[in-house]
Structure 1
């Protein structure tokens, strides 16, 4: 009995790992122009298990200051040129860049990290931070900074207490030395903890910026990547029972031609549904009484993982089906 339960546990773990998909959502801002408005017109990113909208600038200027990157003016002021110790501004909850990641039906999503290049004009912002809706934008996400290429010997950004990015070298900017270029300043946010693990509700990520030296100062982001894992969840299907044979016999499984047989071992009428990984019913068939056998031709379906959901009275049994071609 113990051996049987252990085998069932191993099977369940295997099913979960097979359905976990790593993803990387890359935002290049390639279609942004100085007249494209506050929303990135570049096609929105999508990956298995997760969809996103486009990055938007909220509470800032109406257009990017240049093409093929995200750079806006209108940030709160509070800094003075060449002064690195005195700042009068603070984070403004009404000014930020924002994107939303939405888990697809049947999936839960874990966020790992986000990386992006950052830069500013000569009178641009001096502080910025990443926050999310998972704590109502209350705390900054853990921040990282990696100077790249020629920036390695000239670090222009530091991480202050509370995970705030601080542009401390006021000389370096987009138009300044190479150390200030967006390509050399790799900023990051590391997502960890229950707020970012196996979530089925949307993630809203914001990058706040403040303490600009002038209202016309800019904050630029580019080459942004969000990494995570999307895991198919059987919530909504009921638990995968792995005991289909107690009431039904499913064969062959896997099937390489899409034809499967389901033999009922129950005298009652019922129904069979084939569900894809997005939770959509893609095939349905009735089960007659008298221990009937149902033939399902699923050859029109693409190769992949599906779920067979059998209903007899108040009982629902779910089993995984693999279609290979």
Structure 2
């Protein structure tokens, strides 16, 4: 007896979850949408925070920057847990390969003295800046209203500690006297006159009550720091015998480009909001003025020391001024 195998297609009663259907209709949805939209609780909380009884555990009033619907913002990278972890695993694997190449040929230790000095007294201490920025991002992850925002802040927090670890690994890769080099970086962060404006600034940002203002204040530093020390000196490093510096710095430049994607999208969303756009724009402009001036002062102090030893390179004119929504 012969049997014929037949396939029967069973049409699903619905293409996605009800909360997605309520927004877009009954149509196939992306994994990002299903993992992001309307995930954060909005009602039926058991208690209010004992340290702020006027607000709910999840409350849009933790920031003056508001969106009528927080889910009008979407991460342009479409990151939820799985693609984020996959991407960053590859990112750090590539950094490890670069570092392995530098270590196998002792290229960091062979850099000219000026580049060695800048690396040890200016760049390596910035791992402590990254650690402070991580805490600011953690605050954003906790207090941002809407999971589309909070998960971006969460991923940024993991990125920041990853950046700190990359800088630490560069210090370790310098070889002999590793402990002394990392200890020197910490001493410079605590006592170096050129680093005190930066240290003071990040410590003050860490205690800003408004999570969004804290993130944007850090971004004001990033917009000046990353072009100045990671992408800006690239050609000078290659021509000045410090190709090793260029090789590891490219990974931090790549991260900064990725970070810009979601922050720029969020800032544009704040400005374009139908209800709060005008008020948001005023707040964003104020943040840019107040924190931007202090960020410039802190980064200038680092540039002045670095310029005594190396050609730090021209400023990056392709930097996005995200508070103005224009290209500088």
Structure with greater proportional helix content: 2
Q: Whose RCO is larger (CA < 8 A, sep 6+)? A: 2
Same fold (TM over 0.5): no
TM-score by length of 2: 0.23
TM-score by length of 1: 0.23
Structure with greater proportional strand content: 1
Question: Considering only CA atoms, is the larger Rg found in Structure 1 or Structure 2?
Answer: 1
